[in-house]
Amino acid sequence: MSLDQYVTLGNSGLRVSPFCLGAMTFGEDWGWGSSAADSDAIMARFMERGGNFIDTANVYTKGHSEKIIGDFVGRDRSRRDRVVIATKFFGNLYPGDPNAGGAGRKNIVAACEQSLRRLQTDYIDLYWMHAWDRFTPIDETMRALDDLVAAGKVRYIGFSDTPAWQVAQAQTLASLRGRARLIALQIEYSLLERTVEGELIPMALELGLGVTPWSPLRGGALSGKYTRQNAGTVTADRGERVTTALGDKAYAIIDELIRIAAEHATTPAAVALAWVQSRPGVASTIIGARRLEQLDQNLAALAVTLSPEDVAALDKLSKPMLGFPMQFMSVATMFSHSGATVNGEKSIVWPLAPASDAERY
């Protein structure tokens, strides 16, 4: 696979590259990240390779990330038309103002106008709700987003970091009322975060949402930089985001990534990214880069094809404990199919089932 082998995002006609360029590191306003010049170089390289999907948010580096993207695409109309810009609302840039964040109509409209100004464009390709707002009725959020789509200021909408039941409710309301439907779901997903496979991934598959995983390397924990051998001696740039993820299970996964990477003549990070991108429902994985060489290293994952044995080994080591009822559902076919094979899935005979007609009442 290459960066210019595009996929449609969810149940839509929007074509995006299989990797999305995450722009949370654009700008040094948080004390780390890329300068504006370095960010420009990263975007230019990404587009030269065929990438067309860039993801940011109104609050990334205090709004500077959007401004950097706007300066880059705003100078060239053909460049703006070619790129798919995704940004988010929800985060508050005005401390003390309760209506400057969240998913209420007042903030959605204001945040959209501010993002359009910083991005130097008259439309946003994909507008995400950054997280679930439990203080706002979901119908209010969906109606406000539908109005923005109708006004031509937003092309498509999606949700990030939201419980499956709330996403399902929003999608159902939109369908019933003939409003703009969600096309994508942005969630954390990696070999160190697979609990999304309980409800969020199955929901996305059922409702036609393209999944765009964020933090596929868990902040760099799966980059290969942190190993069992150097445990506790290498400083993590992302602090607790990385250190809290490192333990016996993580090191077992990292050991396997290193082994597989050696067989494929690539890096552990490329293997970890290839694993995420191959998961059911995943459309475009969000990758970050502070330097050009990091971008090139991440893009190398597109050339990695994992064998079934590679995938099975990583799946086994990273298998998550899912919340109820998903763990229970894994044995449900035992007493629903009781030994029969359905859709290619074999079941075992339920030991409590009647063994003969004489035992049935």
Distance CA 157, CA 144 (A): 11
Higher-confidence residue of 240 and 225: namely 225
Q: Which residue has the higher pLDDT, 315 or 333?
A: 315
Identify whether 60 is a catalytic site residue. yes
| pLDDT above 80 for 254 | yes
Burial (CB count within 10 angstroms: exposed 0-12, middle 13-18, buried 19+), residue 111: buried
Neighbours of 339 (CB within 10 A): 12
Q: How far apart are CA 27 and CA 36, in angstroms?
A: 6
- Distance in angstroms (rounded) separating the CA atoms of residues 272 and 189: 11
What's the average model confidence in pLDDT over 24-37?
A: 95
**Position 134: which residue type?**
R
CA 142/CA 350 separation, integer angstroms: 45
Q: Looking at residue 330, what is its pLDDT?
A: 80
Which of the four pLDDT bands, split at 50, 70 and 90, describes residue 238? low
CA gap 148, 107 in Å, rounded:
12
Cα 198 to chain center, whole Å?
A: 16
Mind listing the pLDDT tens digit for each residue in 38-76? 999 999 999 999 999 999 999 999 999 999 999 999 878
Residue 38 CB contacts under 8 Å (≥ 6 apart), including other chains: 290, 291, 292
Amino acid at 333: T
The single residue of 60, 127, 156, 226 carrying the catalytic annotation is 60
The pLDDT-based confidence of 353 (bands split at 50, 70, 90) is: confident
- What pLDDT, on a 0 to 100 scale, did the predictor assign at position 340? 92
pLDDT at 120 over 80: yes
Q: What is the pLDDT of residues 107-119, one digit of tens each?
A: 999 999 999 999 9
Would the pLDDT of 237 be above 70?
no
Give the SS3 label for residue 229: coil
pLDDT value of residue 75: 76
Using CA atoms, how far residue 277 sits from 18, 274, 294, 316, in Å, is 8, 5, 18, 17
